[in-house]
Structure 1
Amino acid sequence: MARMALNFSSIGGAVRASLRFLGVLRKPAGRTPAPATRAPAPGRSGNAARLRAGVTGTYPGDFTGTATLRYAPSPDGRPDPGEIVWTWVPFEEDHSRGKDRPVLLVGSHGRYLLGLMLTSKDHDGHPRARRDYVDIGTGPWDRQGRPSEAKLDRVLQIHPADIRREGSVLERKKFRLVADELRLLHGWK
């Protein structure tokens, strides 16, 4: 039975990706992006990178309210809180540019999932960073096996259709560490 669920999950992901590629799923309102003719040079990320990542809409902005944290991972091919997924993340200073990276999903608000960007850069040596980052260790979301940290001071709003793939489920114990720090920093429930 588990094998069958995995196959349906894979098929569902392939169908969603195909629909996004064909432009059937989540066309942008009011304008059609120009097709990317060449990939951006290494180190440059912009609209072509967004199109390659399957992002079709505009970024609604970072989440600034309070939300309820939820741990509900489910191996069903759909993104759920408690899972680490890959998606396009806009740069803070320019939401029209960004890059594809791992994100820990922590809850939802309306039609958006709420996520925290992961980084492999170690911030333990910085006094301010102790409040803004939580160590979550290593996992299959990083091919090089580097330890990761969740960035707490920026909460991303992500449309589920813009998630490229599921990376893994974060252990409940590690999710609790992140959730406890989010509650302290943002006053979440």
Structure 2
Amino acid sequence: MLWRLPLLLTALLEAQIIPTVIDDFPPALSLRVKWKHDSAALGNTLKPDHLKKAPVIHLDRVESDALAGAQLSKHMSYVIVLTDPDAPSRDDPKWSEFCHWIAASSQLEFSSKSKSKHHLKDIIKYKPPAPPPKTGKHRYVFFTFIAANGTTKKLHLSKPEERKHWGSDHAGHGVREWAHENGLIPIAANFIYAENDKQ
């Protein structure tokens, strides 16, 4: 399914992902995230047991004025990330943000027919969502990034030393700061909620 841009941005705002996790941005692609039994659908709630293996990522074109008119090229590298801003809980996010996944591809592949599968190389291995007991629902947010300067050269990305705070000593430090440090801009997003059965 291709997300309509107002629906995506509304969902991100209502979930307070904008502006808490990322600044407002104009999406250029729709990001589909599929596990064996489930898919991300802009804030649906999924069982952690269904999220054990890294999902398959699909990117689809949407009509957008993103990138100030620049054309997305298949030769551009892109980055997929997964972050949890609610670690260990939304009421007490002292470990926020928690980096669950960083993966990159050297070729931006997309298909209006939604048939493309993407071959990603892990920078930080996928750590499946595992919200602790009695911490309520966590937001697990996926983003697609590309280089802000539009380069088609290989990206040299920093690897966070720790997952908590994306390797920073500062609470709340996360994907926005990491992306800025690496010269990246967001072009797509999706998210889910997940919670422990013990509440």
The interval holding the TM-score normalised by the smaller chain is under 0.3
Q: TM-score, normalised by structure 1?
A: 0.26
Q: TM-score, normalised by structure 2?
A: 0.25
Greater relative contact order: 1 or 2 (C-alpha under 8 angstroms, separation 6 or more)? 2
